[in-house]
Amino acid sequence: MSEHSTNTVALRLRPPAHRVSRRAIGYWTATAAILWVVLIGIQSVIVATSDDAPAFLTVTLVVSCVLGPLHLVVMPQWRYRVHRWEVTGEAVYTQAGWLKQQWRIAPVSRIQTVDIERDPFEQLFGLAKITVTTASAAGPLRISGLAHDHALALADELTKTTQAVRGDAT
């Protein structure tokens, strides 16, 4: 068996082992809630201040008032069940999404950079995301919803693992 076929078997697509932090549920809920509040607020102001609001505006407001809370209950829980990640000595595995789901594998030998990012809400929830840039046309892998201290340790582990692997990541 050639080296290429051995690597193909070792790096087959499979569910990653680790879930993201449970705090990601609150983060996803809060960020989505802000968008729903803004949308419903704008719709409410238009309907309330219009002398003769078109019927479709009232319908969209009612639909938003039903879909918004439903989305806030379902989406964060669903995403938490789907989002997973794993790092081995050979590869980084990710699974993300909720309606459109994506599974990715990046061999450690292809990793070029490892970045940690935290937006203000992620900082509030003690979360961070890691972006693993590879020599792939598919783009970087992202692991969102990690506890900040865990993200720091994972970035350190990936950096050490990447340095131990020979090659130029191309």
Which domain range does residue 42 map to? Answer: 26-78
Looking at 78, 96, 117, the residue that finishes a domain is 78
Asked if residue 12 belongs to a domain, the reply is no
Are residue 65 and residue 105 in the same domain, yes or no? no
Asked if residue 2 belongs to a domain, the reply is no
Q: Is the pTM of this model over 0.85?
A: no
Give the pLDDT confidence score for residue 74 in this predicted structure: 96
Looking at 53, 78, 103, the residue that finishes a domain is 78
Q: Are 105 and 13 in contact (CB under 8 A)?
A: yes
For the stretch 18-61, pLDDT in tens is: 999 999 999 999 999 999 999 999 999 999 998 887 888 899 99
| Residues 141, 156: Cα–Cα separation, whole Å | 16
Q: Are 82 and 101 in contact (CB under 8 A)?
A: yes
For the stretch 76-88, pLDDT in tens is: 999 999 999 999 8
Are residue 74 and residue 143 in the same domain, yes or no? no
Are residue 147 and residue 129 in the same domain, yes or no? yes
Q: Are 83 and 144 in contact (CB under 8 A)?
A: yes
How many domains in the chain?
A: 2
For the stretch 115-139, pLDDT in tens is: 999 999 999 999 999 999 988 878 8
